[in-house]
Structure 1
Amino acid sequence: MQTAAQVLVALVALIHMYFLVLEMFLWDTPRGRKVFATTPEFSRQSAPMAANQGLYNGFMAAGLVWSLIAGDPVARPAQIFFLCCLVVAGVYGAATVSRKILLVQALPAAAALVLVVTAG
């Protein structure tokens, strides 16, 4: 179970690295506009906000990566902290922006959190 938990934590970190790339570098491109269903005008105007949001996703990914390489006693509490942050952010995003965020962000983080906690 421990291996499955670590694999899922790594997957969640990769997802958030992908969000960083999408929001910081691809936001105002055809790919970014397609993923986020935005218009060229909106993506151009909101690019600084999206880059800031991408940076936050990068910090979450960095925290999860750090938790994977940190030794005891830091690794597990760090994973729990960062995964809880992502679940809360995903629930808030689903309530305020799009329900899709619940599936893309909160659900993978919640699944990883359950495995981390139960793997003990």
Structure 2
Amino acid sequence: MEILTLFIVALVAVEHIGIAVLEIFAPAKTQAEAFDMPLDFVKQKNAQIALSNQGIYNGMLGILILAMILLFTGAVLKTILILLMAYIIIVAVYGAFTATKKILFLQGLPALIALVLVAIFY
């Protein structure tokens, strides 16, 4: 069950890397649809800068999670993963209140599932 748990956590990491790719490299139309934002807003230079900045954070979070899986084991890894999954859940709740409700389900729910699995099975 530990391997399945780490696989689910790795999927959360890959999801954040994918979100980073959308935020940094996707065309404005794709970004507007993905993030429930008006296209006119997303096309603005400042909005593109903000999305790219947010993308760096999401990408680095995904890379950090993967690195932690590779570098640590046991109780240390469990603690790190619980903290990172809790962080993602908190950010998803904030995003649901400030941006779009779907963030709660697309980012928060996978992190919650991973958190529960880590807490119980790792």
| Length-normalised TM-score, structure 1 | 0.90
For the residues of structure 2 that align with 1:27 and 1:43, how far apart are their CA atoms? Answer: 9
- What is the Cα deviation at residue 36 of structure 1? 2.3
| Residue 6 of structure 2: aligned partner | 6
| Residue 44 of structure 1: aligned partner | 43
Contact 1:63-1:82 at 8 Å conserved across structures: no
Counting only pairs closer than 5 Å after superposition, residues 77-88 of structure 1 correspond to structure 2 as: 77-88=79-90
Contact 1:27-1:43 at 8 Å conserved across structures: no
**Number of residues of Structure 1 aligned to a counterpart in Structure 2:** 119
| Length-normalised TM-score, structure 2 | 0.88
The one-character-per-residue Cα deviations of 1:62-119 (angstroms, maximum 9, x if unpaired) are: 1210121013353222211211110100011112211101000100001001001101
Report which stretch shifted further, 107-116 or 90-99.
90-99
| Residue 71 of structure 1: aligned partner | 72
For the residues of structure 2 that align with 1:33 and 1:93, how far apart are their CA atoms? Answer: 16
What's the secondary structure of 2:43's corresponding residue?
helix
One-letter amino acid matched to 2:33: K
For the residues of structure 2 that align with 1:71 and 1:36, how far apart are their CA atoms? Answer: 34
One-letter amino acid matched to 1:118: I
Contact 1:12-1:61 at 8 Å conserved across structures: yes
One-letter amino acid matched to 1:119: F
- What is the Cα deviation at residue 39 of structure 1? 3.7
For the residues of structure 1 that align with 2:37 and 2:99, how far apart are their CA atoms? Answer: 13
One-letter amino acid matched to 1:55: I
Contact 2:16-2:58 at 8 Å conserved across structures: yes
- What is the Cα deviation at residue 27 of structure 1? 5.0
Q: Percent identity?
A: 33
The one-character-per-residue Cα deviations of 1:17-37 (angstroms, maximum 9, x if unpaired) are: 110000011152x32232224
For the residues of structure 2 that align with 1:49 and 1:97, how far apart are their CA atoms? Answer: 14
Contact 2:35-2:100 at 8 Å conserved across structures: no
Contact 2:81-2:118 at 8 Å conserved across structures: yes
Which ranges of structure 1 fall in alignment gaps of 5 or more residues?
none
